[in-house]
Amino acid sequence: MEALMNWLEAQLADNSIFTLQTLSYYGDGLVTTVQLVFLSLIIGVVLAVPLAIGRGSKKAWVRLPIFFYCYVFRGTPLLVQLYLIYYGVVFVEGIQDTWLWVLLEKPFVPALIAFTLNTGAYTTEIFRGAIKSTPKGEIEAARAYGMSWGLMMRRIVLPSAFRRALPAYGNEVIFMLHASAIASVVTLMDLTGAARFVYARFYAPFDAFLFVAAIYLCLTFSIIFFFRRLENRLLAHLKPAGN
């Protein structure tokens, strides 16, 4: 480990911008970005599955609130949502004295809430589309077998809907990664925050932002790679025979 550090230090010796310290800002930023995006995506999916089912419900009191939620969060910029949640909650009288403040005081949780609600809305729409496009024959077959609604959802509709939703959802993951770049407006030191810090400190826009762009590219590439593997595996039955 020490040898590695020494080697790194020697490599960086005549570099005034990318010192070990600024690299550690980028490192911390990477951790924050990945945490933020990963957590919001996980919670977003957990939210989106029941919402997507409810979104297609015949009962208006189930369907309409979900429609309204998706409409609002897809209809407003993520930046505005982030501002509202981070700076807006403060104007709720007396919130500093409640247990909520423990969560909302630091910028991470407000950012996580904004990102989760946003990706949740988009994911709900993606899943709803996939559920809606389930071939009628499959549903009729399930009914013919005497399956209950729950069993049919679990065994027939959802598994095939997830497969159909996969390519669109992969896109949403990449969008979310890129959208997370705005987290630094609420003082969170994510990857872009680190780049802005280095930029402002050394007045070196190219160095600071090209470096961070390269990191985002690597992240995006691994997401694409992961989803391609997943698609190859889960959508194998849709490929032409003899492949």
* Residue 196 touches other proteins, criterion: CB under 8 A: yes
* Residue 187 touches other proteins, criterion: CB under 8 A: yes
* Residue 87 touches other proteins, criterion: CB under 8 A: yes
Nearest to 117 by CA among 181, 71, 166, 58: 71
Among 67, 162, 197, 227, binds other proteins (CB under 8 A): 197
CA separation (Å) from 83 to 53, 97, 184?
30, 21, 11
* Residue 92 touches other proteins, criterion: CB under 8 A: no
| CB of 168 or CB of 204, closer to other proteins | 204
b/e for 107-138, b at 16 or more Cβ within 10 A?
Answer: bbebbbbbbbbbbbbbbbbbbbbbbeebeeee
Q: How many residues are listed for the chain in this entry?
A: 243
Stretch that binds other proteins, among 29-37, 127-135, 201-209, 230-238 (CB under 8 A): 201-209
Rounded CA-CA distance 64/90 in Å is 29
CB-based contact 97:19 (threshold 8 Å): no
Read off the amino acid at residue 88: G
CB-based contact 220:212 (threshold 8 Å): no
Site string for other proteins, 106-125 (x = CB under 8 A): xx------------------
Rounded CA-CA distance 23/29 in Å is 10
Rounded CA-CA distance 159/161 in Å is 5
* Residue 79 touches other proteins, criterion: CB under 8 A: no
Among 201, 222, 229, 232, binds other proteins (CB under 8 A): 201
> How many residues sit in the footprint of other proteins (CB under 8 A)?
19
* Residue 205 touches other proteins, criterion: CB under 8 A: yes
Smallest distance from other proteins to CB 193, Å: 8
Interactions with other proteins, residue window 10-69 (CB under 8 A): none
* Residue 78 touches other proteins, criterion: CB under 8 A: no
* Residue 199 touches other proteins, criterion: CB under 8 A: yes
Footprint of other proteins on this chain (CB under 8 A)? 87, 90, 96, 101, 105-107, 185, 187, 189, 193, 196-197, 199-203, 205
